[in-house]
Every structure is written in structure tokens, then in C-alpha cells.
């Protein structure tokens, strides 16, 4: 049984027709958010956010603490639904399909739009079980051999296979922080999601583990649409093709990463990326 | 703020040393208070256990007399038909036991006063003892068997030293002649204290030497089964719904406050509720362990709900997010993660609730479980008592045998409680997961 949606959605007159064409070097338009407003109780946290996320690329969301970037990313797989007081308004589409439509099952959506969290959060189960959990949940593997293969491929894609292949039966919580986070990535990609949301995936990791994850993100984007929230502007510059700057719940500016960091059109973006505040 | 050198200087010198010593003394004193409190508590615990054990250990031994009983055909089964249970049931077994005793002591059965004195050495329960032997195995009729027969409460008390031989004989419950017989039997090894199985298997009796906890143990067992079967699923489901599904708001707040209040309601109130609801309204039988179990279920529910909610809340939110993030539904989240991770807490809460219920007396008094029940209850609908109620009833009896039995039964109850608490600790440690 799934809980009734805690959110009310008002359909806009129709999706806006502008900006659907992918900029050069990016895949096709994957997710499109139009006029997204969000409230926690009486407090509005997002104001009219319009953002396009393209396939085969990394979109990074930057901005000072509390600017709403994490809140926004959690709208994209309806993780905000589990917060009672949270109310979302606006239109968010995945491949042109409204994800807040009444007939969309948020549980299924979350299999298509995977998520990696700030703090590595493996289940207190074995490494194998951590990765096998989601495919088993969605009944994707008919046999044990299939499952073994899915686990192996996911761990290889997450760059963890070589380190753990001899101890798949050991608890995932016994790995180091960086390994745990890669395990969580393996878990998220085990069901072949179309979009991968990453909410500050490196903020709890040391620089070496961070570098490993960044390389991994770079490889994953070949087949995946990735949106990453980050506090580190260097990280945004290193891994992403497009960058969106959030400030006080508003999307201030979104553009190619190089443009944002070298020639932003908004003064606030300029101030933030040059380190004057935030 | 003063400048830095001045503030540094204040950490040196005589004044500062004095302040430091004063603080250290205060810290030591604070620790001592805690230690004193613990020593105080431990001392009381030792005193409590000491007094119960010193009074109660003798209840686990019971004096018996070995007598060669002649199961005479004439007395037991004059008709000669061993299938006639009625006749076997009504036979005069006391006579058999007494005659065996007269023979053993070498006294003249014609002297009525001597005979009466001798009769008082035997328990009034010996007829049941012999009757049960015959009913179990009628082939012993016509033979002579050595049987350990229960001695009377007074003889038992003399052997255990609770009747003092130095007391003048006119104020003593055991006459000089009886003491002589007892010594004679003890010297021959025909009278001694043996392990008291009757304490665990017998039902209620007005003779302390034949009274036992059997009915109370079975009643308590029935009640615990009822509580486990009802309170655990109800409590866990309530806690799960309140934590995971119920919309936060006035209604759930009210429910929460009321559950917390219920946990603090005096148990006798639950007894009154049980009386009014289960017995008067639903018409369930009085004194039945089912009703006792239902009342204890009501009493245990708040404990289980509160501990289960705490255990569920202790599951880290990151695990929740992880499960939801890979597309687990709410039920899968609960079944795969929340319940397994909160299991140790739920188990601990359940066992603590059961321990509470096992030791509860007051509500059982209200629903008539404080009864004189001789026969084993064959179902939870039959009259029964419970362990603590049995203790309560024995404590109100004056005979010496009941005094030691009160303490002995308390030891049995304490043993159950300690075992169950240890089990709770063991399960918690076994299932505890690290994350």
C-alpha cells in the first residue's frame, strides 16, 4: 500500500515551449521542471523554478546553504512526498510525462529516478544484498545467475568490484566511507535508472574518495542523466556540463558550466562563484 | 573582555590553585553521591533477597515419613472388583496410613489418647496420596509397600527448627511424646526432609504441607500466552500505524497522550474495567485465566506500544531514505528494514511488559482469580489463580507452613522474572545491529 500523495499538484495550462532543444554536446531533454513552487507548511522554499535536465550529461546544482537545491532535487523523484507538511506545485516531467500525475506511482518513479544521498547509507546487510535489494524488490532477476550478474555489473560500474569481489557476503557497513558511497551508487544503478540524483554525495568523504567518485560520475554520465547537488564549486566545475545556481529558493541562473564560472550574467552568481558569499 | 595576558595569569598562583582544588573536591563529592546511592540500593536488594531466601528455601523441602503401608484388600476393595473406581475412591486410606504408623512406632492401637497423638504426626493429605497411588496402579492392592507419606505441618516445623524444643511443653504445638516418636523415626532414617515436588504440582489446600503452586503456574502460563497472542500483534501494529502512517496532528497527539496516560493508570483500574467489560458485559466466566489474560493484555499494551514506537523511531532516517530511494514501497520499507532493525527494541519491550504482567496482582483480585482452586484448569476458561495471587493468599494464612511457602513462592516468581529479564537482555544483544 502506498500512502496517499501528500502533495497537491496544479496543472499549468501547458508546458512551455521554450528551451526544449538540447544545447550542443548534451543528450536529449530528460527532465523538465516548470514553475515549481514548494512549501514546508507555511514557509515557501522554492519559487517558480524552471530547469531543464539533459541526458548523457551532468547538471550540477550549486548555491549557498538553505537555498533550496536539495529540496528541488528531491522533487525530481518525489522523495518530498514522505514529508507530511511538504506541498509541491508546478509541473515536473520525465520524458514528457508528468511525474506528479495522479496515476504515477511514486515508488515506481523512484526506480526510474535513482538517488544517492549525502551520508553513505548502506543497509545493514551484506554487500551482495545491498546491491541485489532493488532488483529483487522490482522482480527484475529471474534466477540467481541473473542476480549475480546484475550485482557484478553494478559493482563494476560503481568501481567497487575489484575491492569487494572476495567478500560480497560481508556487511556493507564495514566498508570505508568512500567504498560505502560507491556501494550506494551501485545500489542505485542496479535497476538501470534513467536519471541519477546525487545529493552532495562527496561531502562526507576525504579528497581521494571524492576524486574516485568524480571519475565515476564522469563515466556514468555516458549512459545516464545525472543531477548533482554540491557545495563545492570546484566539483561542479570538474564534473558537470551544465550548472544551475540557486539562491534563496530561486533559480538565479542556469547555463553551461564554463559560462557560469567565467561569464555569469547575474551579479549574484558572479559574487557566489568568485567566493564573495556563501 | 580583559586582555589575554591578564586572563592567562589568573590560571596561575595561589588563588588559582585553591580554586582548582575546590573544583576537584566538588567533582569527587559528586561522584561519591552516585556511589552512595548505588551502595544504598544494592544493600536493600541484598537485604530483600536475603530475607526472602532465608525464609523461603525450606519451602522446597518437605518432611515425609517412610511407612510400610499394607494396601489391604479388605479396606480398599472389599468387593474384590478392582474396576470399581467408586469403591477405590471412597476407601478409608487414612486408616491404612495410621495403622502403618502405629506398627512402625510400636504403640498400642487400643489407647485412644496415644493413638490421637500419633495421628497428628501424619498430614491430613495422606489419604489423597495413598488413593492416588491405588488409582494409578490398582495391582498394589493386597501388597505391602514402603511409602513416603507427608508428615504434618507441626512435625515438619519441628524438623525445620521453627518449633523450638526448649519451649515449655504446654505452650508447644508438639507434645513431648510426639517429639520422642519423631526422634525415634529420624534416628531410624524413616523420617526426613525430601525435595518438595508438591510445591510445584499441587493445587490449593488448607493444609500447608499439601498446598502447591500447580494451579497458579498453569493459570499464569495461560495468562502469559493470552497476553503474547493479543498484546504483541496489537501493540506492534498500533505502534507501526502511529509512527509510519498516521497523519501528524491533533488526533495522533491525543492518542499519544492517552497511551502514555494508560501506561500510568493503576493496575487495579484495569481490573475494574475487566470486571465490568469481560465478565459483566461479555459474560465470560469469573476466575478464568482468559479474563485475567485479557485484563493483563490491556495493561501491557501501552508498554509495548511505547517501547515499539521508540524502537521504530530509533531506526536511522538514512535507512528509510535509502529504501525509499531505490523504490521500496512503504510496506516493503517496514517489512524489510524498519521491523528487523527495531526488533531488539520490540522484543525487550515485550518481555518487560510480560514481566510486569506476570507480577501483577491487583487486577486479578478484581476478576475473582483469588480463588481456592484445587483442580488443574484444563482450559483458559476454567477457574485458576496466578503466581502473585497465590503468594497473596498464602501470605494471609497463619500456619507456619504457609509462611515459608509464601517466601518460597516469591522465590519462584522472582526466578521467573529474572530469567525473563535475562532473556530480554540476551535477545537485545543478539539481534542488535550496528550501522
Residue B12 has pLDDT above 80, yes or no: no
Answer whether B319 sits within 8 Å of A115, measured CB to CB. no
Cell numbers at residue B297, please?
493484555
Same domain for B50 and B69?
A: no
Which B positions 234-273 lie with beta carbon below 8 A of chain A? 245, 247-248
Question: How many angstroms separate the CA of residue B300 from the nearest CA in chain A?
Answer: 29
Euclidean distance between CA atoms B50 and B56, whole angstroms: 10
The closest alpha carbon to B120, from B179, B183, B206, belongs to B179
A–B interface: beta-carbon pairs under 8 A: 71
What pLDDT is attached to residue B5?
55
Answer whether A123 sits within 8 Å of B322, measured CB to CB. yes
Euclidean distance between CA atoms B39 and A183, whole angstroms: 50
Question: How many angstroms separate the CA of residue B426 from the nearest CA in chain A?
Answer: 20
B306 found inside a domain:
yes
Euclidean distance between CA atoms A29 and A48, whole angstroms: 19
What pLDDT is attached to residue A66?
84
Question: How many angstroms separate the CA of residue B247 from the nearest CA in chain A?
Answer: 7
A64, A71 contact by CB (below 8 A): no
Query: Which residue intervals of B241-338 are DSSP H helices?
Result: 250-264, 267-274, 289-313, 317-325, 330-333
The closest alpha carbon to B381, from B233, B254, B278, B242, belongs to B278
Euclidean distance between CA atoms B422 and B115, whole angstroms: 53
Q: What angle in degrees, to the nearest 10, is found between the helix axes of A177-189 and A144-157?
A: 130
Report, as an integer, the average pLDDT of B194-202. Answer: 89
- Secondary structure class of A276 (helix, strand, coil): coil
Euclidean distance between CA atoms B197 and B160, whole angstroms: 17
Query: Which residues neighbour B365 within 8 Å (Cβ) at sequence distance 6 or greater?
Result: B268, B271, B389, B392
Residue A82 has pLDDT above 50, yes or no: yes
Residue where a domain stops, chosen among B35, B57, B79:
B57
Residue where a domain stops, chosen among B57, B80, B95:
B57
Answer whether A115 sits within 8 Å of B433, measured CB to CB. no
Euclidean distance between CA atoms B192 and B185, whole angstroms: 9
What pLDDT is attached to residue B433?
62
Answer whether B435 sits within 8 Å of A108, measured CB to CB. no
Same domain for B249 and B266?
A: yes
Place of cell 573544583: B23
Euclidean distance between CA atoms A158 and A130, whole angstroms: 13
Same domain for B13 and B113?
A: no
Torsion over CA: B334, B337, B338, B344 (sign): positive
Which residue in chain A has the smallest CA separation from B434?
A124
Number of Cβ atoms within 10 Å of the Cβ of A38: 23
- What share of chain A in percent tops pLDDT 70? 91
Q: What angle in degrees, to the nearest 10, is found between the helix axes of A177-189 and B317-325?
A: 30
First-to-final CA distance of chain B: 45
Cell numbers at residue A257, please?
558550466
Same domain for B375 and B231?
A: yes
Residue B336 touches chain A, beta carbons under 8 Å: yes
Euclidean distance between CA atoms A248 and A203, whole angstroms: 21
Question: How many angstroms separate the CA of residue B435 from the nearest CA in chain A?
Answer: 6
* Residue with more model confidence, B371 or B234: B234
B276, B263 contact by CB (below 8 A): no
What pLDDT is attached to residue A243?
93
Question: How many angstroms separate the CA of residue A20 from the nearest CA in chain B?
Answer: 28
Q: Which domain holds residue B115?
A: 60-201
Same domain for B373 and B251?
A: yes
What pLDDT is attached to residue A25?
67
* Mean pLDDT comparison of A190-194, B45-49, B205-209, highest-scoring range: B45-49
Number of Cβ atoms within 10 Å of the Cβ of B248: 11
Residue A4 has pLDDT above 70, yes or no: no
Euclidean distance between CA atoms B411 and B59, whole angstroms: 10
Residue A263 has pLDDT above 50, yes or no: yes
Same domain for B30 and B164?
A: no
Euclidean distance between CA atoms A251 and A67, whole angstroms: 9
B352, B303 contact by CB (below 8 A): yes
What pLDDT is attached to residue A1?
41
Same domain for B65 and B163?
A: yes
B206 found inside a domain:
no
Which residues of A are less than 8 Å from B245 in CB distance?
3
Which residues of B are less than 8 Å from A195 in CB distance?
none
Answer whether A187 sits within 8 Å of B329, measured CB to CB. no
User: Exposed (0-12), middle (13-18) or buried (19+): which is B32, by Cβ within 10 Å?
Assistant: exposed
Answer whether A123 sits within 8 Å of B327, measured CB to CB. no
Give B191's Cβ-side CA count (13 Å radius). 25
Overall number of domains in chain B: 3
What pLDDT is attached to residue B28?
96
Cell numbers at residue A44, please?
515557501
Residue A19 has pLDDT above 70, yes or no: no
Across the interface, of B321, B329, B341, the residue whose CB is closest to A121 is: B321
| Interface test with chain B among A77, A104, A133, A185, by most B beta carbons within 10 Å | A133
Which residue in chain B has the smallest CA separation from A172?
B435
The closest alpha carbon to B409, from B393, B390, B382, B386, belongs to B390
Same domain for B277 and B351?
A: yes
Answer whether B328 sits within 8 Å of A137, measured CB to CB. yes
pLDDT tens digit sequence for B25-46:
999 999 999 999 999 999 999 9
Across the interface, of B247, B322, B336, the residue whose CB is closest to A117 is: B322
**pLDDT band for position B89 (cuts 50, 70, 90):** confident
Question: How many angstroms separate the CA of residue A173 from the nearest CA in chain B?
Answer: 6
State the ipTM, two decimals.
0.82
Cα separations in angstroms, B369 against B43, B353, B411: 35, 20, 21
* Mean pLDDT comparison of A151-160, B3-12, B30-39, B163-172, highest-scoring range: B30-39
Question: How many angstroms separate the CA of residue B314 from the nearest CA in chain A?
Answer: 14
Number of Cβ atoms within 10 Å of the Cβ of B148: 16
**pLDDT band for position B6 (cuts 50, 70, 90):** low
Query: Which residue intervals of chain A are DSSP H helices?
Result: 69-75, 106-112, 127-137, 144-157, 161-164, 177-189, 207-220, 233-239, 257-262, 267-273
Which residues of B are less than 8 Å from A82 in CB distance?
320, 324
What pLDDT is attached to residue A22?
59
Same domain for B330 and B390?
A: yes
Answer whether A133 sits within 8 Å of B332, measured CB to CB. no
User: Exposed (0-12), middle (13-18) or buried (19+): which is B322, by Cβ within 10 Å?
Assistant: buried
A151, A128 contact by CB (below 8 A): yes
Answer whether A2 sits within 8 Å of B341, measured CB to CB. no
Residue A107 touches chain B, beta carbons under 8 Å: yes
Across the interface, of B321, B322, B327, the residue whose CB is closest to A111 is: B327
B310, B304 contact by CB (below 8 A): no
Same domain for B347 and B257?
A: yes
Residue B330 touches chain A, beta carbons under 8 Å: yes
Residue A184 touches chain B, beta carbons under 8 Å: yes
Cα separations in angstroms, B119 against B140, B171, B176: 24, 20, 15
Cα A260 to chain center, whole Å? 20
Same domain for B138 and B165?
A: yes
Number of Cβ atoms within 10 Å of the Cβ of B241: 12
B207 found inside a domain:
no
Domains of chain A, by residue range, sit at 29-273
pLDDT tens digit sequence for B272-331:
999 999 999 999 998 999 999 999 999 999 999 999 999 999 999 999 989 998 888 899
What pLDDT is attached to residue A11?
41
B356 found inside a domain:
yes
Residue where a domain stops, chosen among B57, B87, B102:
B57
Answer whether A3 sits within 8 Å of B245, measured CB to CB. yes
CATH of the domain at B280: 1.10.3720.10
A29 strand-pairing partners: A54
First-to-final CA distance of chain A: 42
- The domain made up of A29-273 has a fold known as Rossmann fold (3.40.50)
Query: Which residues neighbour B289 within 8 Å (Cβ) at sequence distance 6 or greater?
Result: B218, B219, B220, B222, B223, B226, B369, B377, B380, B382, B384, B386
A171, A126 contact by CB (below 8 A): yes
The pTM score is 0.81
Query: Which residues neighbour B9 within 8 Å (Cβ) at sequence distance 6 or greater?
Result: none
Same domain for B155 and B118?
A: yes
Across the interface, of A1, A110, A117, the residue whose CB is closest to B327 is: A110
**pLDDT band for position A6 (cuts 50, 70, 90):** very low
Amino acid at each position: 500500500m502506498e500512502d496517499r500523495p501528500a502533495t497537491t499538484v496544479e496543472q499549468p495550462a501547458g508546458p512551455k515551449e521554450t528551451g526544449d532543444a538540447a544545447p550542443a554536446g548534451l543528450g536529449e531533454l530528460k527532465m523538465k521542471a516548470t514553475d515549481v513552487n514548494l512549501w514546508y507548511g507555511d514557509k515557501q522554499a522554492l519559487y517558480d523554478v524552471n530547469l531543464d535536465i539533459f541526458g548523457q550529461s551532468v547538471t550540477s546544482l550549486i548555491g549557498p546553504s538553505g537555498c533550496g537545491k536539495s529540496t528541488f532535487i528531491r522533487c525530481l523523484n518525489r522523495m518530498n512526498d514522505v514529508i507530511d507538511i511538504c506541498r509541491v506545485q508546478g509541473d515536473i516531467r520525465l520524458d514528457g510525462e508528468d511525474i506528479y500525475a495522479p496515476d504515477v506511482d511514486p515508488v515506481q518513479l523512484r526506480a526510474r529516478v535513482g538517488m544517492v544521498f549525502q551520508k553513505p547509507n548502506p543497509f545493514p546487510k551484506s554487500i551482495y544484498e545491498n546491491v541485489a535489494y532493488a532488483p529483487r524488490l522490482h522482480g527484475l532477476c529471474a534466477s540467481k545467475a541473473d542476480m549475480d550478474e546484475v550485482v557484478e555489473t553494478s559493482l563494476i560500474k560503481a568501481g567497487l568490484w575489484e575491492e569487494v569481489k572476495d567478500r560480497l557476503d560481508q556487511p556493507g557497513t564495514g566498508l570505508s566511507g568512500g567504498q560505502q558511497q560507491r556501494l550506494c551508487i551501485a545500489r542505485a544503478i542496479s535497476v538501470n535508472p534513467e536519471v541519477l540524483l546525487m545529493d552532495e554525495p562527496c561531502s562526507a568523504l576525504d579528497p581521494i574518495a571524492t576524486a574516485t567518485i568524480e571519475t565515476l560520475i564522469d563515466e556514468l554520465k555516458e549512459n545516464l542523466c545525472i543531477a548533482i547537488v554540491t557545495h563545492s564549486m570546484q566539483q561542479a566545475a570538474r564534473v558537470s556540463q551544465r550548472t544551475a545556481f540557486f539562491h534563496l529558493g530561486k533559480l538565479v541562473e542556469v547555463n553551461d558550466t564554463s559560462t557560469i564560472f567565467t561569464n555569469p550574467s547575474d551579479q549574484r552568481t558572479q559574487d557566489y562563484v568568485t567566493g564573495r558569499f556563501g | 573582555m580583559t586582555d589575554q595576558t591578564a586572563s592567562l595569569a589568573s590560571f596561575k598562583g595561589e588563588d588559582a590553585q585553591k580554586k582548582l582544588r575546590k573544583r576537584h573536591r566538588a567533582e569527587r563529592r559528586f561522584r561519591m553521591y552516585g556511589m552512595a546511592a548505588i551502595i544504598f540500593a544494592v544493600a536493600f536488594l541484598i537485604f530483600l533477597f536475603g530475607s526472602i531466601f532465608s525464609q523461603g528455601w525450606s519451602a522446597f523441602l518437605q518432611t515425609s515419613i517412610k511407612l510400610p503401608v499394607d494396601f489391604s484388600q479388605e479396606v480398599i476393595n472389599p468387593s474384590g472388583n478392582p474396576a470399581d473406581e467408586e469403591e477405590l475412591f471412597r476407601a478409608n486410606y487414612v486408616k491404612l496410613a495410621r495403622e502403618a504408623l502405629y506398627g512402625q512406632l510400636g504403640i498400642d492401637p487400643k489407647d485412644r489418647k496415644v493413638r490421637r497423638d500419633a495421628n497428628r504426626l501424619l498430614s491430613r493429605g495422606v489419604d489423597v496420596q495413598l488413593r492416588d497411588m491405588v488409582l494409578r496402579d490398582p495391582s498394589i492392592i493386597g501388597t505391602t509397600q514402603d511409602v513416603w507419606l507427608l508428615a504434618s505441618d507441626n512435625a515438619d516445623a519441628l524438623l525445620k527448627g521453627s518449633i523450638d524444643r526448649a519451649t515449655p511443653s504446654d505452650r508447644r504445638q508438639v507434645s513431648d511424646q510426639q517429639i520422642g516418636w519423631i526422634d525415634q523415626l529420624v534416628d531410624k532414617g524413616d523420617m526426613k526432609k525430601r525435595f518438595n515436588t508438591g510445591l510445584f504440582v499441587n493445587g490449593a489446600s488448607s493444609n500447608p504441607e499439601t498446598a502447591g503452586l500447580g494451579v497458579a503456574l498453569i493459570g499464569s502460563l495461560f495468562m502469559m500466552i493470552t497476553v503474547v497472542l493479543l498484546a504483541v500483534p496489537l501493540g506492534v501494529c498500533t505502534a507501526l500505524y502511529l509512527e509510519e502512517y498516521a497523519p501528524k496532528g491533533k488526533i495522533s497527539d491525543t492518542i499519544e497522550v492517552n497511551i502514555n496516560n494508560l501506561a500510568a493508570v493503576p493496575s487495579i483500574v484495569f481490573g475494574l474495567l475487566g470486571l465490568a467489560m469481560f465478565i459483566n458485559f461479555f459474560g465470560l466466566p469469573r476466575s478464568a485465566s482468559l479474563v485475567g489474560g485479557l485484563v493483563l493484555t490491556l495493561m501491557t499494551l501501552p508498554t509495548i506500544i511505547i517501547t515499539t514506537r521508540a524502537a521504530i523511531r530509533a531506526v536511522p532516517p538514512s535507512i528509510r531514505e535509502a529504501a525509499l530511494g531505490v523504490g521500496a514501497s512503504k510496506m516493503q520499507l517496514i517489512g524489510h528494514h524498519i521491523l528487523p532493525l527495531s526488533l531488539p527494541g520490540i522484543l525487550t519491550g515485550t518481555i518487560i511488559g510480560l514481566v510486569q504482567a506476570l507480577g501483577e496482582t491487583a487486577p486479578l483480585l478484581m476478576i475473582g482469580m483469588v480463588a481456592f482452586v484445587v483442580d488443574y484448569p484444563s482450559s483458559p476458561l476454567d477457574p485458576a489463580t496466578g503466581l502473585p495471587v497465590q503468594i497473596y493468599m498464602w501470605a494471609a494464612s497463619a500456619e507456619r507452613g504457609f509462611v515459608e511457602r509464601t517466601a518460597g513462592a516469591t522465590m519462584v516468581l522472582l526466578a521467573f522474572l529474572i530469567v525473563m529479564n535475562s532473556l530480554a537482555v540476551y535477545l537485545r544483544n543478539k539481534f542488535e545491529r550496528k550501522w
